[in-house]
């Protein structure tokens, strides 16, 4: 019985990694392709194993596209979005959770309701608004419509609600106001949540396609996900270069994920409410 | 008197705390939402004024073949993705959950990695893998179906292929949710059942499945809403073709607004999509609340 169990376990583990190998294959294949010359990529002899380490495609991409501008735009807009969303969400959640003011319940109702509304359905009128404000092809135009992330407020509120009331009293006795409470007590107590929400917001903003695609038309103002589709149009079917630009575009977040794997895993679990 | 000024001061502080969110919300969310409803009753172009046309846009929708095709394709896509991705994610989560230590971290990283890729990276890789002439998967397709298939140019293959790419891309998120759910199940349940001599299958059916159901329901509804909003992959892989066989609602919004300059009509379509998704979200919220009470 136990040896049967052992065999079963072995088979399951091997099966798991066979499935994992299949799952990672597209990325492996993109890498192999990107390291070959364009001729080699489409030749009959090119097998599934790595056989060439030719960085020509990467060099070509770095020289002949706006990749560096796209990096700067992506990092710049994603950082500003993340910071603004987390700070404004934290402040709003604190007020809803800890203070009494008229309209508090309505405000939280609006936050919950907007959580259920697809922002994609608003792109037409958001575009008209940004166009009226003269913000098409600017960072502000990319950033503004991405600043509403209701889940940040919802998660913060839950965690602020759970902070024991005694924590407040010491600060209040010393004459500290709500800003002191928020930044000296509630924020330090919830650093884990802040990192988690920051990570989730950053990944979302970095990968956003539809809105930046609509809000930007000039090539050097594009973000990474939009920019790399331009390489397609410029090169046609030069797959070594297409794969190298795709991998270069994916690299920063992929590396960050591999370094902070545990944090990201936790962040996804917390922000979707399955782990508190 | 002091109470009153204190109260007034607290209100001012509260107002300053909520102001950044409330003002941004009013500008980029509430105002566009109101404008969307307003525009859907006009014949305005994307930029510029139009005339009030009442319910014309909505009656036109009912007889617009492309809209009906899009609606149908949205439904088809939901069918092709929601249950398969939930099932696959559950299997993968079960497989990963029995591993320990660095083996578990490695397997999890591999299955989660695609989720953090930008959509255009995903579509470029799969376009290359499925290239009719040189794609590495064409021999596999030829082996099973007798000949190579230009998957994105074939009306029967196109939606299942986009669905497969979508599952590969987004599945890692669901795997994580299931793993979190599995970790929440107390170990003693399994130990008790094993003492009674339960088999692996019995353990799954009697312990795992019922206790995991709230997470399964969460994944199903989240996926439902997510997949109804599909645009990126379709636009990048097929642009709605061939013969409109992969046209979906959000793609139609995009085409009407930004290519045909029909701001009013596009708004009407967007409003319908908005209502459909909001309805599903309310349903999801109710389900989750019901799940939480249990």
Instruction: Report how far apart, in Å, the C-alpha atoms of B173 and of each of A95, A185, B119 are.
Output: 31, 32, 14
Q: Give per-residue pLDDT as tens, A134-182.
A: 999 999 999 999 999 999 999 999 999 988 888 888 888 887 788 888 8
Angstrom distance (rounded) from CA A19 to CA A275: 27
Angstrom distance (rounded) from CA B119 to CA B231: 10
Note whether B176 contacts A: Cβ–Cβ < 8 A. Answer: yes
Q: How far is A8 from chain B (nearest CA, A)?
A: 10
Element (DSSP H or E) covering residue B91: helix B65-98
Query: How many residues does the structure list for chain B?
Result: 294
Q: What is the ipTM of this complex?
A: 0.90
Q: How far is B69 from chain A (nearest CA, A)?
A: 19
Q: Is B52 helix (H, G, I), strand (E, B) or coil?
A: strand
Angstrom distance (rounded) from CA A142 to CA A225: 13
- Residues A240, A34: contact at Cβ < 8 Å? yes
Q: Do A95 and B281 touch (CB under 8 A)?
A: no
Burial of residue A131 (CB within 10 Å: 0-12, 13-18, 19+) is middle
Angstrom distance (rounded) from CA A228 to CA A65: 9
β partners of residue B42: B52
- Residues B249, B47: contact at Cβ < 8 Å? no
Given this model, what pLDDT does residue B284 score? 73
Nearest CA in chain B to A180: B13
Note whether B266 contacts A: Cβ–Cβ < 8 A. Answer: yes
Say which of B32, B180, B278 has its CB closest to residue A126.
B32
Angstrom distance (rounded) from CA B252 to CA B232: 12
Tokens 């790595």, residue?
A: A50
Chain A contacts in chain B segment 31-70 (CB below 8 A): 31-33, 35-36, 39, 46-47
Say which of A23, A26, A268 has its CB closest to residue B173.
A268
What residues in A contact B197, CB-CB < 8 Å? none
Say which of A91, A239, A250 has its CB closest to residue B17.
A91
Q: How far is A246 from chain B (nearest CA, A)?
A: 5
Note whether B182 contacts A: Cβ–Cβ < 8 A. Answer: no
Token digits of residue A239: 């797959």
Q: How far is B205 from chain A (nearest CA, A)?
A: 18
**Of B267, B293, B289, B280, nearest in space to B56 by CA:** B267
Token digits of residue A168: 């407040």
Note whether B238 contacts A: Cβ–Cβ < 8 A. Answer: no
Q: Do B114 and A23 touch (CB under 8 A)?
A: yes
Note whether B234 contacts A: Cβ–Cβ < 8 A. Answer: no
Angstrom distance (rounded) from CA B286 to CA A163: 27
Given this model, what pLDDT does residue B197 score? 82
Note whether B224 contacts A: Cβ–Cβ < 8 A. Answer: no
Nearest CA in chain A to B265: A124
Say which of A126, A182, A250 has its CB closest to residue B121.
A250
Q: Is B42 helix (H, G, I), strand (E, B) or coil?
A: strand
Given this model, what pLDDT does residue A233 score? 66
Q: Do A117 and B274 touch (CB under 8 A)?
A: yes
Q: Give per-residue pLDDT as tens, B91-143.
A: 999 999 989 889 999 999 999 999 999 999 999 999 999 998 888 899 899 99
Residue-range domains of chain B with CATH:
74-246 (1.10.3720.10)
User: Distance between alpha carbon B166 and the CA centroid of its chain, in Å?
Assistant: 9
Angstrom distance (rounded) from CA A45 to CA A55: 20
Tokens 């609600």, residue?
A: A161
Q: Is the dihedral of CA B115, B121, B123, B127 positive or negative?
A: negative
Given this model, what pLDDT does residue A88 score? 96
What residues in A contact B284, CB-CB < 8 Å? 116
Cβ of A232: how many Cβ atoms within 10 Å?
Answer: 19
Token digits of residue B198: 């339960």
Note whether B120 contacts A: Cβ–Cβ < 8 A. Answer: yes
Nearest CA in chain B to A48: B136
Tens place of pLDDT for every residue, chain B, 294 residues?
Answer: 556 677 888 889 999 999 999 999 999 999 999 999 999 999 989 888 888 888 889 999 999 999 999 999 999 999 999 999 999 999 999 999 989 889 999 999 999 999 999 999 999 999 999 998 888 899 899 999 988 899 899 999 999 999 999 999 999 999 999 999 999 888 888 888 888 888 888 888 888 999 998 889 889 888 988 899 999 999 999 998 898 999 999 999 999 999 999 999 999 999 999 999 888 888 777 776 665 544
Tokens 């109710």, residue?
A: B286
**Of A19, A73, A101, A127, nearest in space to A252 by CA:** A73
Burial of residue A205 (CB within 10 Å: 0-12, 13-18, 19+) is buried
- Residues B40, B267: contact at Cβ < 8 Å? yes
Q: Do B32 and A179 touch (CB under 8 A)?
A: no
Token digits of residue B165: 């790419």
Q: Do B124 and A243 touch (CB under 8 A)?
A: yes
What residues in A contact B15, CB-CB < 8 Å? 101
Q: Do A182 and B17 touch (CB under 8 A)?
A: yes
Q: Do A115 and B274 touch (CB under 8 A)?
A: no
Domain at A66-271, CATH homologous superfamily = MetI-like (1.10.3720.10)
Q: Do A206 and B118 touch (CB under 8 A)?
A: yes
- Residues B171, B108: contact at Cβ < 8 Å? no
Note whether B250 contacts A: Cβ–Cβ < 8 A. Answer: yes
Q: Is A13 helix (H, G, I), strand (E, B) or coil?
A: helix
- Residues A224, A65: contact at Cβ < 8 Å? no
Nearest CA in chain B to A41: B134
Angstrom distance (rounded) from CA B129 to CA B147: 16
Q: Do A268 and B92 touch (CB under 8 A)?
A: no
Note whether B72 contacts A: Cβ–Cβ < 8 A. Answer: no
pTM of the model: 0.91
Tens place of pLDDT for every residue, chain A, 276 residues?
Answer: 578 878 888 899 999 999 999 999 999 999 999 998 887 887 777 778 888 788 888 988 888 888 999 999 999 999 999 999 999 999 999 999 999 889 999 999 999 888 777 888 899 999 999 999 999 999 999 999 999 999 999 999 999 998 888 888 888 888 778 888 888 889 888 888 899 899 989 999 999 999 999 999 999 999 999 999 888 766 667 888 899 999 999 998 899 899 888 889 888 888 877 764
What residues in A contact B183, CB-CB < 8 Å? 275
Quickly list DSSP for B138-178: HHHHHHHHSS---GGG-TTTHHHHHHHHHHHHHHHHHHHHH
Q: Do A258 and B47 touch (CB under 8 A)?
A: no
Nearest CA in chain B to A259: B109
Given this model, what pLDDT does residue B294 score? 40
Q: How far is A213 from chain B (nearest CA, A)?
A: 10
Angstrom distance (rounded) from CA B185 to CA B266: 47
């Amino acid at each position: 019985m136990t040896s049967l169990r052992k065999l079963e376990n072995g088979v399951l583990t091997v099966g798991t990694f066979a499935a994992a190998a299949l799952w990672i294959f597209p990325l492996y294949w993109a890498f192999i392709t990107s390291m070959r010359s364009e001729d080699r990529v489409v030749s009959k002899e090119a097998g599934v194993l790595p056989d060439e380490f030719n960085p020509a495609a990467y060099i070509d991409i770095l020289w002949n596209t706006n990749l560096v501008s796209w990096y700067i735009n992506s990092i710049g807009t994603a950082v500003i979005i993340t910071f603004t969303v987390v700070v404004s969400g934290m402040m709003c959640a604190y007020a809803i959770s800890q203070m009494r003011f008229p309209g508090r319940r309505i405000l939280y109702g609006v936050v919950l309701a907007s959580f259920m509304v697809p922002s994609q359905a608003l792109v037409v009128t958001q575009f008209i608004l940004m166009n009226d404000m003269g913000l098409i092809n600017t960072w502000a135009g990319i950033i503004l419509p991405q600043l509403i992330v209701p889940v940040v407020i919802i998660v913060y509120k839950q965690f602020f609600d759970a902070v024991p009331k005694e924590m407040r009293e010491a600060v209040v006795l010393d004459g500290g106001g709500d800003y002191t409470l928020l930044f000296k007590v509630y924020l330090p107590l919830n650093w884990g949540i802040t990192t988690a929400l920051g990570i989730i917001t950053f990944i979302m903003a970095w990968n956003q396609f539809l809105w930046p695609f609509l809000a930007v038309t000039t090539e050097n103002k594009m973000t990474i996900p939009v920019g790399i589709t331009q390489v397609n149009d410029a090169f046609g079917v030069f797959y070594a270069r297409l794969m190298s630009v795709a991998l270069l575009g994916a690299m920063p977040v992929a590396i960050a994920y591999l370094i902070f794997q545990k944090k990201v895993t936790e962040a996804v679990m917390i922000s979707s409410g399955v782990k508190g | 008197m002091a109470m009153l000024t204190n109260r007034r001061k607290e209100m001012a502080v509260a107002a300053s705390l909520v102001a950044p969110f409330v003002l941004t919300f009013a500008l980029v969310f509430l105002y566009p939402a109101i404008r969307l409803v307003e525009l859907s009753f006009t014949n305005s172009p994307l930029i510029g004024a139009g005339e009030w046309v009442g319910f014309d846009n909505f009656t036109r929708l009912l007889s617009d073949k492309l809209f009906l095709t899009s609606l149908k394709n949205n439904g088809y896509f939901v069918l092709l993705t929601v249950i398969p991705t939930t099932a696959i994610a559950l299997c993968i989560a079960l497989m990963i959950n029995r591993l320990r230590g660095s083996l578990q971290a490695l397997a999890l990283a591999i299955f989660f990695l695609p989720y953090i890729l930008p959509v255009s990276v995903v579509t470029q890789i799969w376009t290359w893998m499925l290239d009719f002439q040189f794609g590495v998967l064409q021999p596999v397709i030829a082996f099973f179906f007798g000949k190579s298939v230009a998957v994105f140019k074939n009306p029967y293959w196109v939606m299942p292929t986009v669905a497969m790419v979508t599952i590969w891309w987004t599945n890692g998120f669901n795997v994580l949710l299931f793993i979190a759910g599995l970790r929440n199940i107390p170990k003693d349940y399994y130990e008790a059942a094993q003492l009674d001599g339960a088999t692996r299958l019995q353990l799954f059916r009697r312990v795992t499945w019922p206790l995991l159901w709230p997470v399964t329901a969460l994944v199903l509804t989240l996926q439902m809403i997510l997949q109804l909003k599909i645009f990126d992959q379709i636009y990048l892989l097929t642009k709605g073709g061939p013969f409109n066989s992969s046209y979906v609602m959000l793609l139609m919004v995009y085409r009407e607004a930004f290519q045909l300059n029909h701001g009013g009509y596009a708004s009407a379509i967007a409003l319908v999509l908005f209502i459909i998704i909001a309805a599903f979200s309310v349903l999801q919220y109710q389900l989750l609340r019901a799940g939480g009470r249990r």
